[in-house]
Amino acid sequence: MSSTPVLEMTTLDCDDPQAEARFWSELLDAELVHADESYGLVKADGRRLGFGRVDGYAPPAWPDPDGSKQFHLDLSVDGDLDEAAERAVGLGATRPDHQPGDTWLVLLSPAGHPFCLTTRANWAQM
């Protein structure tokens, strides 16, 4: 089993996950897997797009002179989650104190972009 992560999903911040999920589902002719007031999930050809509600959400400006964009990557590993996290930290990621639980880890890229790491088994039901 490998501790090399696989990209499972890109999650976009938004104020209305139901509307975003419906829009992208229709646009991409994709399966609307889940949509409620806090989270939406669309699957197309094995790829997943997630939509997470953020209080006080403000959409990015375009063009944005500051270059800000709002998303995060969800990665999975077939192997040991802690080993994969240690590898990421060894490559320059940091592991913040605040974590969402035991089966998902949030790490920060060297530039400070958050990304989630979990086992591939956690994706089997999605």
Q: Whole domain around residue 49: which residue ranges?
A: 6-54+71-123
Domain presence at residue 1: no
Domain presence at residue 63: no
Q: How many CB atoms lie within 10 A of CB 56?
A: 5
Domain presence at residue 66: no
Domain presence at residue 64: no
pLDDT > 70 in the chain, percent: 98
Q: Which residue shows structure tokens 């006080």?
A: 56
pLDDT exceeds 90 at position 42:
yes
Q: What is the CATH number of the domain that holds 23?
A: 3.10.180.10
pLDDT exceeds 80 at position 111:
no
Q: pLDDT tens, 45-71?
A: 888 999 999 999 988 876 778 777 788
- State how far the Cα of 48 lies from the Cα of 26, in Å rounded to an integer: 14
State whether residue 67 is helix, strand or coil.
Answer: coil
Averaged pLDDT, 103-116:
87
Task: Please give the mean pLDDT across all residues of the chain.
Answer: 89
pLDDT bucket at 23, cuts 50 / 70 / 90: confident
Domain presence at residue 65: no
- 117, 75 contact by CB (below 8 A): yes
pLDDT exceeds 90 at position 101:
no
Domain presence at residue 12: yes
Q: Which two tokens stand for residue 96?
A: 């913040």
Q: Which two tokens stand for residue 81?
A: 């989650």
Look at the chain and report how many structural domains it folds into. Answer: 1
